[in-house]
């Protein structure tokens, strides 16, 4: 979607003030824990681009609350599993050996979108240590949400997703759908169904030195997330608020309710 299309989708520029007003009308409140998935292009033409979206979210959540976004870095996964880019086999060992260490304060996100990448770069945003599935956070509980992110099972109970769950957090889908809703991964770990396991290795910084860490995980699968999300919204409608933010369809989702539903859904549908 080009900028001409973005302009045509709105009657006036989308601004920090109009975004904040829309977010409040949707139900975002000060003091809560809010995990955001966003598409900048879905909002229409935004004066200030991604920075305006981040500023609006911070303005509404306030520093008494906590704002969280995924800051994943697929460039540190095993290149053998890559399809985008599909690197030649003879490159893989060079990629594994020559990648610079993951640095929470500096390493850019990959595939997370402009808003999440902009948020990551704010000087008062903190980020978890996981080399592939880190999260960034700002606000009252930011340090606690990202601290001690387990290398093993990086989207499970030792992750920021579980911290959001423990704080009765909400998920904001801002122009996105459940197929990218990372909170559903937490349910994958908690649900009882057969799972394949995998091992990955990545370079990180520990105590100022570059080291390689090896960690175990499960093979996650997002192929049924959209179906699960649709069933959740049909069966637990009171856990979802719908509205429009800018030009984007937006949903505010009760994260613990979604995760608990998804655990049962997986056990019924992935068994």
Give the pLDDT score at 145.
Answer: 98
Q: What is the pLDDT of residues 18-58, one digit of tens each?
A: 999 999 999 999 999 999 999 999 999 999 999 999 999 99
Nearest by Cα to 77 from 65, 67, 87, 62: 87
- In this predicted structure, what is the pLDDT of residue 10? 85
pLDDT over 90 percentage in the chain: 88
pLDDT range class, residue 80, cuts 50, 70, 90:
confident
Split at pLDDT 50, 70, 90, the class of 265 is: very high
Please return the burial class of 74, using the count of CB atoms within 10 Å of its CB with bins 0-12, 13-18 and 19+.
middle
**Higher pLDDT pick, 81 / 185:** 185
Mean pLDDT of the chain: 95
Does residue 117 sit in helix, strand or coil?
Answer: helix
- Per-residue pLDDT averaged across 202-219, rounded? 94
What is the distance between the alpha carbons of residues 133 and 71, in angstroms, rounded to a whole number?
A: 7
- Average pLDDT of the segment spanning 68-85: 90
Give the pLDDT confidence of 166-187 residue by residue, as tens digits.
Answer: 999 999 999 999 999 999 999 9
Q: Specify which residues 135 forms β-bridges with.
A: 70
Over range 219-229, report the average pLDDT.
97
Q: Tell me the C-alpha to C-alpha distance, in Å, between residue 229 and each of 49, 151, 162, 207, 255.
A: 29, 27, 19, 41, 12
> What is the helix (H) or strand (E) element at residue 172, kind and residue range?
strand 170-174
The pLDDT-based confidence of 11 (bands split at 50, 70, 90) is: confident
Average pLDDT rounded to a whole number, residues 119-143: 98
pLDDT tier for residue 120 given thresholds of 50, 70 and 90: very high
Q: How confident is the model at residue 83 (pLDDT cuts 50, 70, 90)?
A: confident
Report residue 195 as tokens.
Answer: 């799972």
Q: Comparing C-alpha atoms, which of 6, 121, 15, 131 is closest to residue 69? A: 121
Give the per-residue pLDDT at 1.
56
Q: What is the pLDDT of residue 171?
A: 98
Q: How many helices (H) and strands (E) does the chain have?
A: 10, 9
- Residue 17 to residues 24, 58, 231: CA-CA distances in angstroms? 11, 12, 34
Q: Please give the backbone phi and psi of residue 58, each rounded to the nearest 5 degrees, phi first.
A: -65, -40
Please report how the helices 49-61 and 16-26 are oriented relative to each other, as an axis angle in degrees rounded to 10.
50
CB atoms within 10 A of CB 217: 21
CB 207 within 8 A of CB 129: no
Q: Which residues, in sequence order, are CB contacts of 39 under 8 Å at separation 6+?
A: 113, 174, 175, 176, 248
108: helix, coil or strand? coil
What is the CB neighbour count within 10 angstroms for residue 114? 18
Each domain of the chain, given as residue ranges in start order, spans 3-269
The share of the chain scoring above pLDDT 70, in percent, equals 100
Burial 229-249 (b: 16+ CB within 10 A, else e): bebbbeeeeebbbeeebbbbe
Banded pLDDT at 69 (limits 50, 70, 90): very high
Task: Name the more confident of 210 and 5.
Answer: 210
């Amino acid at each position: 979607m080009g900028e001409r299309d973005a302009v045509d989708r709105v009657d006036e520029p989308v601004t920090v003030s109009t975004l904040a007003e829309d977010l409040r009308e949707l139900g975002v409140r000060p003091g809560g824990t809010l995990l955001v998935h966003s598409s900048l292009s879905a909002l229409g033409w935004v004066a200030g681009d991604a920075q305006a979206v981040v500023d609006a979210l911070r303005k509404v959540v306030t520093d008494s609350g906590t704002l969280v976004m995924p800051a994943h870095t697929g460039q540190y996964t095993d290149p053998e599993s890559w399809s985008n880019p599909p690197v030649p086999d003879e490159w893989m060992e060079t990629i594994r050996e020559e990648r610079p260490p993951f640095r929470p304060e500096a390493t850019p996100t990959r595939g997370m979108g402009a808003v999440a990448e902009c948020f990551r770069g704010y000087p008062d945003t903190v980020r978890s240590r996981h080399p592939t599935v880190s999260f960034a956070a700002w606000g009252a509980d930011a340090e606690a949400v990202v601290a001690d992110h387990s290398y093993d099972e990086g989207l499970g109970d030792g992750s920021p997703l579980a911290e959001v769950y423990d704080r009765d957090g909400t998920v904001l889908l801002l122009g996105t759908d459940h197929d990218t809703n990372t909170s559903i991964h937490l349910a994958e770990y908690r649900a009882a169904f057969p799972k394949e396991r995998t091992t990955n290795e990545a370079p990180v910084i520990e105590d100022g030195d570059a080291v390689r860490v090896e960690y175990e995980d499960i093979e996650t699968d997002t192929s049924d997330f959209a179906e699960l999300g649709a069933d959740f919204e049909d069966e637990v409608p009171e856990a979802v608020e719908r509205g429009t933010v800018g030009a984007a369809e937006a949903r505010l989702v009760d994260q613990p309710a979604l995760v608990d539903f998804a655990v049962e859904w997986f056990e019924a549908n992935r068994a």
